[in-house]
Structure 1
Amino acid sequence: MTAEEMTNRYLQRLDKRLRDYEMDLNQTIADIENDYDLGCIGVTEAQWQDIIVLVGGIVQANTRMIHEASECIRTDGEVSGSLLNLLDLAKHFATLDFSEAPLIKQEAKA
């Protein structure tokens, strides 16, 4: 397998993972809104603002914004359930850790 083929395979897998994370992110945001509407979670005004900044940071791939907003959300109130899921997703985007490293090693061996 050539380096170009290996790179193309990796990029295809990464693209799929990014689309999966996008779907997860959209679902998590919908879950937060639904949980809030049902009274299952209490989100402070400051946390709402930080959630907006966090989602903006994810969309812009701005690592600093993601880290700062994540910390603010935790500081401004209790975090659990769908809000905790959002923070976990944000961590993946901040580190670009989509768990592809093992796949790259497998491709290199093939």
Structure 2
Amino acid sequence: MTAEEMTNRYLQRLDNRLRAYEMALNQTIADIESDYDQGCLGVTEAQWQDIIVLLGGIVQANTRMIHEASKNVSADGEVSGSLLNLLELAEHFATLDFPESPLIKQEAKA
């Protein structure tokens, strides 16, 4: 196998992982919206703003913004459920670490 073939194979696997993480992120956002609509999610106005900043940081691939917003979201108390999933996914986007194992958890939930 040539170096170009190896590189293309790796990039294809990474692209597949990124698509899977994108789907996991979209599902997590939908879960947060659903939790909020059902009254199961208690967040402050400041936390909502930090969640929006966090999502913007992910979209912009801004690691500093992701780290700061992640800290702020959890600063007002314990975070669980869909918000915890969002913070875990944000960490993957901040570090550009997209292993396959977290996807298995997400796919098991679906």
Q: 1:15 maps to which residue?
A: 15
Gap runs ≥5 in structure 2: 101-110
Indicate yes or no: 2:90 matched with 1:90: yes
Q: 2:58 maps to which residue?
A: 58
Q: Secondary structure at the match of 2:12?
A: helix
TM-score (norm 2): 0.87
Q: 2:71 maps to which residue?
A: 71
CA displacement at 1:76 relative to structure 2: 2.5
1:40-51 maps to which residues of 2 (within 5 A)?
Answer: 40-51=40-51
Sequence identity (%): 85
| 1:1-44 deviation per Cα after TM superposition (whole angstroms, max 9, x unaligned) | 11110000010111111111111111101100100111112011
Matched residue count: 100
Letter in 1 for 2:20: D
> Which of 1 and 2 has greater Rg?
1
Letter in 2 for 1:40: C
TM-score (norm 1): 0.87
Q: Secondary structure at the match of 2:34?
A: helix
Give distance in 1, aligned partners of 2:51 and 2:77: 12
CA displacement at 1:82 relative to structure 2: 0.2
CA displacement at 1:50 relative to structure 2: 0.4
Give distance in 2, aligned partners of 1:78 and 1:52: 18
CA displacement at 1:78 relative to structure 2: 2.9
Does the 8 A contact of 2:47 with 2:72 survive in 1? yes
Does the 8 A contact of 1:46 with 1:76 survive in 2? no
Give distance in 2, aligned partners of 1:51 and 1:57: 10
